[in-house]
Amino acid sequence: MSHSPPGPHAGDGLPRCRWCDGAPEFPAYHDAEWGFPVADDRRLFEKVCLEAFQSGLSWRTILGKREHFRLAFLGFDFDRIAAFGPRDVERLLQDEGIVRHRGKIEAVIRNAAGAQALVKEFGSLGAYFWRFEPDPATLAAPQTVSTHAASVAMSKDLKKRGWAFVGPTTAYAFMQAMGLVNDHEPGCHARAKVAAARAKFKPPVA
Protein backbone atom coordinates (compact mmCIF):
# COMPACT_ATOMS: atom_id res chain seq x y z
CA MET A 1 0.00 0.00 0.00
CA SER A 2 1.35 3.36 -1.01
CA HIS A 3 1.35 6.42 1.21
CA SER A 4 1.11 8.92 -1.65
CA PRO A 5 -1.40 11.75 -1.28
CA PRO A 6 -4.96 10.42 -1.43
CA GLY A 7 -7.00 10.88 -4.56
CA PRO A 8 -10.41 9.92 -5.95
CA HIS A 9 -10.70 6.24 -6.85
CA ALA A 10 -14.35 5.44 -7.48
CA GLY A 11 -15.45 8.18 -9.87
CA ASP A 12 -17.21 10.09 -7.10
CA GLY A 13 -14.48 12.61 -6.33
CA LEU A 14 -13.89 11.42 -2.79
CA PRO A 15 -10.23 11.23 -1.71
CA ARG A 16 -9.19 7.74 -0.70
CA CYS A 17 -6.10 5.81 0.31
CA ARG A 18 -3.98 5.11 -2.76
CA TRP A 19 -4.35 1.34 -2.43
CA CYS A 20 -7.90 1.76 -3.68
CA ASP A 21 -6.36 2.04 -7.14
CA GLY A 22 -5.54 -1.65 -6.96
CA ALA A 23 -8.95 -3.03 -7.94
CA PRO A 24 -12.50 -1.81 -8.64
CA GLU A 25 -13.71 -3.75 -5.58
CA PHE A 26 -11.42 -1.90 -3.20
CA PRO A 27 -13.22 1.47 -2.75
CA ALA A 28 -16.39 -0.15 -1.36
CA TYR A 29 -14.38 -2.32 1.03
CA HIS A 30 -12.25 0.68 2.02
CA ASP A 31 -15.24 2.95 2.63
CA ALA A 32 -17.44 0.53 4.58
CA GLU A 33 -15.11 -1.87 6.37
CA TRP A 34 -11.38 -1.21 6.48
CA GLY A 35 -10.36 0.38 9.75
CA PHE A 36 -13.78 0.52 11.41
CA PRO A 37 -13.62 -1.07 14.88
CA VAL A 38 -14.99 -4.60 15.17
CA ALA A 39 -15.93 -6.55 18.30
CA ASP A 40 -17.90 -9.41 16.72
CA ASP A 41 -16.09 -12.71 17.32
CA ARG A 42 -16.95 -14.31 13.99
CA ARG A 43 -15.79 -11.29 12.02
CA LEU A 44 -12.56 -11.17 13.99
CA PHE A 45 -11.92 -14.86 13.43
CA GLU A 46 -12.79 -14.55 9.76
CA LYS A 47 -10.30 -11.76 9.29
CA VAL A 48 -7.49 -13.63 11.03
CA CYS A 49 -8.17 -16.57 8.72
CA LEU A 50 -8.40 -14.51 5.54
CA GLU A 51 -5.21 -12.64 6.36
CA ALA A 52 -3.52 -16.01 6.72
CA PHE A 53 -4.84 -17.13 3.35
CA GLN A 54 -3.59 -13.87 1.83
CA SER A 55 0.00 -14.67 2.80
CA GLY A 56 1.94 -14.71 -0.49
CA LEU A 57 -1.12 -13.60 -2.45
CA SER A 58 -3.01 -10.34 -3.07
CA TRP A 59 -5.92 -9.07 -1.01
CA ARG A 60 -7.88 -8.74 -4.26
CA THR A 61 -7.69 -12.52 -4.68
CA ILE A 62 -8.99 -13.12 -1.17
CA LEU A 63 -11.67 -10.43 -1.28
CA GLY A 64 -12.95 -11.86 -4.55
CA LYS A 65 -13.28 -15.29 -2.94
CA ARG A 66 -14.55 -14.06 0.43
CA GLU A 67 -18.17 -15.11 0.00
CA HIS A 68 -17.10 -18.59 -1.03
CA PHE A 69 -14.71 -18.78 1.91
CA ARG A 70 -17.68 -17.97 4.14
CA LEU A 71 -19.68 -20.83 2.63
CA ALA A 72 -16.80 -23.29 2.82
CA PHE A 73 -16.00 -22.43 6.44
CA LEU A 74 -19.59 -22.21 7.71
CA GLY A 75 -19.61 -18.46 8.21
CA PHE A 76 -16.37 -18.79 10.17
CA ASP A 77 -18.23 -20.31 13.10
CA PHE A 78 -15.14 -21.46 14.97
CA ASP A 79 -17.10 -23.79 17.24
CA ARG A 80 -18.18 -25.80 14.18
CA ILE A 81 -14.83 -25.50 12.39
CA ALA A 82 -12.99 -26.86 15.44
CA ALA A 83 -14.84 -30.13 14.87
CA PHE A 84 -13.53 -30.50 11.30
CA GLY A 85 -11.48 -33.60 10.62
CA PRO A 86 -9.29 -35.07 7.84
CA ARG A 87 -12.28 -35.57 5.52
CA ASP A 88 -13.13 -31.89 5.79
CA VAL A 89 -9.56 -30.97 4.90
CA GLU A 90 -9.69 -33.18 1.80
CA ARG A 91 -13.08 -31.73 0.85
CA LEU A 92 -11.77 -28.19 1.15
CA LEU A 93 -8.69 -29.05 -0.90
CA GLN A 94 -11.06 -29.88 -3.77
CA ASP A 95 -13.00 -26.62 -3.42
CA GLU A 96 -12.03 -24.37 -6.33
CA GLY A 97 -13.79 -21.40 -4.74
CA ILE A 98 -11.15 -20.97 -2.03
CA VAL A 99 -7.36 -20.98 -1.85
CA ARG A 100 -6.49 -24.66 -1.79
CA HIS A 101 -3.45 -24.67 0.48
CA ARG A 102 -3.32 -27.58 2.91
CA GLY A 103 -1.27 -25.77 5.55
CA LYS A 104 -3.58 -22.77 5.60
CA ILE A 105 -6.74 -24.89 5.68
CA GLU A 106 -5.36 -26.95 8.56
CA ALA A 107 -4.36 -23.70 10.30
CA VAL A 108 -7.96 -22.48 10.22
CA ILE A 109 -9.10 -25.66 11.96
CA ARG A 110 -6.27 -25.49 14.48
CA ASN A 111 -6.91 -21.81 15.13
CA ALA A 112 -10.63 -22.48 15.58
CA ALA A 113 -9.78 -24.66 18.56
CA GLY A 114 -7.49 -21.86 19.73
CA ALA A 115 -10.36 -19.41 19.41
CA GLN A 116 -12.53 -21.59 21.61
CA ALA A 117 -9.80 -21.58 24.26
CA LEU A 118 -9.52 -17.78 24.10
CA VAL A 119 -13.27 -17.38 24.53
CA LYS A 120 -13.14 -19.66 27.55
CA GLU A 121 -10.29 -17.62 29.05
CA PHE A 122 -11.27 -14.06 28.11
CA GLY A 123 -15.01 -14.30 27.47
CA SER A 124 -14.74 -13.36 23.80
CA LEU A 125 -12.23 -13.04 21.00
CA GLY A 126 -12.90 -9.32 21.05
CA ALA A 127 -11.76 -9.04 24.65
CA TYR A 128 -8.57 -10.89 23.76
CA PHE A 129 -7.65 -9.03 20.55
CA TRP A 130 -8.44 -5.54 21.82
CA ARG A 131 -5.93 -6.03 24.63
CA PHE A 132 -3.33 -5.41 21.92
CA GLU A 133 -4.69 -2.06 20.73
CA PRO A 134 -1.57 0.12 20.38
CA ASP A 135 -1.19 3.57 21.87
CA PRO A 136 -1.86 5.93 18.91
CA ALA A 137 1.15 7.99 19.97
CA THR A 138 3.41 5.04 19.12
CA LEU A 139 2.13 4.59 15.57
CA ALA A 140 4.15 5.48 12.49
CA ALA A 141 2.69 7.63 9.72
CA PRO A 142 -0.23 5.80 8.07
CA GLN A 143 0.72 2.93 5.77
CA THR A 144 4.47 3.38 6.15
CA VAL A 145 5.14 0.23 8.20
CA SER A 146 3.93 -3.37 8.10
CA THR A 147 4.44 -4.26 11.76
CA HIS A 148 4.30 -2.65 15.21
CA ALA A 149 5.43 -3.74 18.64
CA ALA A 150 1.80 -4.58 19.41
CA SER A 151 1.47 -6.84 16.36
CA VAL A 152 4.72 -8.56 17.31
CA ALA A 153 3.34 -9.13 20.81
CA MET A 154 0.04 -10.44 19.45
CA SER A 155 1.83 -12.78 17.07
CA LYS A 156 4.08 -14.16 19.80
CA ASP A 157 1.19 -14.71 22.18
CA LEU A 158 -0.97 -16.46 19.58
CA LYS A 159 1.91 -18.72 18.55
CA LYS A 160 2.50 -19.64 22.19
CA ARG A 161 -1.13 -20.68 22.29
CA GLY A 162 -0.67 -22.94 19.27
CA TRP A 163 -2.02 -20.69 16.50
CA ALA A 164 -0.49 -20.89 13.01
CA PHE A 165 -0.05 -18.40 10.16
CA VAL A 166 -0.23 -15.41 12.53
CA GLY A 167 3.07 -13.62 11.99
CA PRO A 168 3.63 -9.96 12.96
CA THR A 169 2.78 -8.67 9.47
CA THR A 170 -0.44 -10.69 9.36
CA ALA A 171 -1.29 -9.44 12.87
CA TYR A 172 -0.72 -5.82 11.86
CA ALA A 173 -2.84 -6.17 8.72
CA PHE A 174 -5.56 -7.57 10.99
CA MET A 175 -5.18 -4.56 13.31
CA GLN A 176 -5.47 -2.15 10.38
CA ALA A 177 -8.58 -3.84 9.02
CA MET A 178 -10.40 -4.41 12.31
CA GLY A 179 -9.90 -0.88 13.62
CA LEU A 180 -7.32 -1.42 16.33
CA VAL A 181 -5.42 1.32 14.48
CA ASN A 182 -6.68 4.04 12.15
CA ASP A 183 -4.28 3.71 9.25
CA HIS A 184 -6.22 5.71 6.68
CA GLU A 185 -4.04 8.35 5.06
CA PRO A 186 -4.35 12.02 6.07
CA GLY A 187 -6.81 13.55 3.65
CA CYS A 188 -8.64 10.28 3.01
CA HIS A 189 -12.36 10.88 3.46
CA ALA A 190 -12.70 7.74 5.60
CA ARG A 191 -10.06 8.71 8.16
CA ALA A 192 -12.36 11.05 10.09
CA LYS A 193 -15.23 8.55 9.91
CA VAL A 194 -13.05 5.82 11.37
CA ALA A 195 -11.77 8.21 14.05
CA ALA A 196 -15.37 9.00 15.01
CA ALA A 197 -16.31 5.32 15.09
CA ARG A 198 -13.28 4.53 17.24
CA ALA A 199 -14.17 7.35 19.63
CA LYS A 200 -17.64 5.86 20.19
CA PHE A 201 -16.43 2.27 20.31
CA LYS A 202 -16.13 0.53 23.66
CA PRO A 203 -13.56 -2.25 23.39
CA PRO A 204 -14.82 -5.50 24.90
CA VAL A 205 -13.17 -6.51 28.14
CA ALA A 206 -12.71 -9.86 29.82
Q: Which residues are part of the catalytic machinery?
A: 29, 51, 59
CA distance 154 to 173: 12
CA distance 67 to 71: 6
CA triple 71-72-76, angle to 5 deg: 75
DSSP H helices, 18-160, are: 26-32, 41-54, 59-72, 78-81, 86-93, 102-122, 125-129, 149-160
Whole-number CA gyration radius for the chain: 17
E strand or H helix that includes residue 15: strand 15-16
Distances in Å between the Cα of 184 and the Cα atoms of 21, 54, 127 are: 14, 20, 24
